[in-house]
Amino acid sequence: MWENIEVALEKTPLDKLKKKPSEDNLGFGVHFTDHMYLSKWNREKGWHDSKICPYQDFQMNPASMVFHYGQAIFEGMKAYRGKDDQIFLFRPKDNFERLNTSALRMCMPRVPVDLVLKSLKALLYLDREWIPSAPGATLYIRPTMIGVDPILGVKPSDTYLFYIIMCPVGAYYPEGFNPTKIYVSDEYVRAVKGGVGQVKTAGNYAASLYMSEIAKKAGYTQVLWLDACEHKYVEEVGTSNIFFQIEDELITPPLGGSILGGITRDSVLKLAQSWGIKTVERPIAIDEVLAASKDGSLKEIFGTGTAAVISPVGELMYKNETYIINNGETGVLAQRLFTELQAIQNGYGADPDKWVVRVC
């Protein structure tokens, strides 16, 4: 059935094309491109009415299930304008496969990965002028699926929308790396094993807002989450995975069900291994991190995710005590990983694992 899906093309009329925002003030997720991908699903037809169409508002029944019970999953990926003005994607299949893993957990239908990737490439080609050329600026891509039955009974929806919207975003670090200050949450938790922490689903982010606001008011940019049972083991930082360099080991928490399996996390593990760095996926207690900070064996902490790529941590705050990490400076390893990943994403680096996909 999937192989036969036709994807229609409805172009935005020339006189309705939007004015592109200035590249030095893009913000994050504020300006959207002229077109989107949109597809519908129901039990009889599967995916149907698939099209690339003008970016548009939805008209929805207020009872739509997604508004009440949160059947919503998404992805976050980027298109890069790199070497010789070519457009690249980074490990895009991994994003759509992860979307399908999320779909399974949330009782939602799978998307046809090859077709969706082909459609995304067509969409990118159509809106290619929106892909910024300023250094570090990219086009952020947000594939999303929502359950839309207009019924208040609690059950999986029988109808879904899948869509892809895109927005130009500025460089995360326009003035070079800026290590972040992190608030370690010892009260609120993000996710629990057996729940949906490993799924990119809307509710996880709604649940994180309250603690994020507390951290912001205290002057911290992100929250470091501990495990939900003992409030002891480190899980993630904000919406990024987290790494610690202690002595010569690069340590990151294992994917035990409450942590999102980041594609950047996986790329960092593989890159570091290829450089001969010893990587370890194991539970790491906050007390171990703080002890290593005190005795000097903790060299670096950084987060990893599509938005920032690498996000160095300069300070931790835990139970009213602050710990300065690496003199509040960006570490050598964080810098090296950031530089190399950006080079690969822009088509300059060696790419033995074929992570980069050229669009046009």
- When binding is defined by CB under 6 A, the residue of 21, 54, 70, 76 that contacts ligand PLP is 76
Answer whether 41's CB lies under 8 Å from 24's CB.
Answer: no
Terminal CA-to-CA distance of the chain, rounded, Å? 28
Beta carbon of residue 126, minimum distance to ligand PLP (angstroms, whole number): 24
Q: Which is nearer to ligand PLP, 148 or 199 (CB)?
A: 199
Residue appearing with tokens 């192989």: 3
236 binding ligand PLP? (CB under 6 A): yes
Answer whether 273's CB lies under 8 Å from 352's CB.
Answer: no
143 binding ligand PLP? (CB under 6 A): no
Instruction: Show the beta-strand stretches assigned E in the chain.
Output: 7-9, 35-42, 46-54, 72-74, 77-81, 87-90, 138-147, 159-169, 180-184, 222-226, 234-237, 241-246, 249-252, 278-281, 298-305, 309-318, 321-324, 356-358
Of the ranges 14-22, 42-50, 104-112, 260-268, which one interacts with ligand PLP (CB under 6 A)? 260-268
168 binding ligand PLP? (CB under 6 A): no
Q: Which is nearer to ligand PLP, 7 or 111 (CB)?
A: 111
Beta carbon of residue 155, minimum distance to ligand PLP (angstroms, whole number): 26
**Subset of 272-301 contacting ligand PLP (CB under 6 A):** none
252 binding ligand PLP? (CB under 6 A): no
Answer whether 259's CB lies under 8 Å from 219's CB.
Answer: no
**Subset of 176-215 contacting ligand PLP (CB under 6 A):** 200
84 C-beta neighbours (distance < 10 Å), count? 5
Rg, the chain, Cα only = 21
Please tell me the distance from the alpha carbon of residue 184 to that of residue 320, in angstroms, as a whole number: 10
**Subset of 105-134 contacting ligand PLP (CB under 6 A):** none
127 C-beta neighbours (distance < 10 Å), count? 22
240 binding ligand PLP? (CB under 6 A): yes
What torsion, rounded to 10 degrees, do the Cα atoms 166, 337, 275, 79 define?
20
Q: Which is nearer to ligand PLP, 64 or 221 (CB)?
A: 221
Of the ranges 58-66, 161-169, 303-311, 338-346, which one interacts with ligand PLP (CB under 6 A)? 303-311
- When binding is defined by CB under 6 A, the residue of 31, 121, 265, 299 that contacts ligand PLP is 265
Beta carbon of residue 341, minimum distance to ligand PLP (angstroms, whole number): 10
29 binding ligand PLP? (CB under 6 A): no
Return the residue nearest ligand PLP (CB atom).
262
> How many residues line the site for ligand PLP (CB under 6 A)?
14
DSSP bridge pairs for 38: 51, 163
Q: Which is nearer to ligand PLP, 221 or 240 (CB)?
A: 240
Structural tokens at position 257: 């069900």
- When binding is defined by CB under 6 A, the residue of 306, 311, 345, 346 that contacts ligand PLP is 306
21 binding ligand PLP? (CB under 6 A): no
92 binding ligand PLP? (CB under 6 A): no
Residue 108 DSSP class: -
Residue appearing with tokens 């200035």: 22
Please tell me the distance from the alpha carbon of residue 285 to that of residue 141, in angstroms, as a whole number: 34
- When binding is defined by CB under 6 A, the residue of 252, 264, 311, 345 that contacts ligand PLP is 264
Beta carbon of residue 305, minimum distance to ligand PLP (angstroms, whole number): 4
Q: CA geometry: angle at 130 spanning 125 and 132, to 5°?
A: 115
263 binding ligand PLP? (CB under 6 A): yes
Question: Site residues (CB under 6 A) for ligand PLP?
Answer: 76, 200, 236, 239-241, 260, 262-265, 304-306
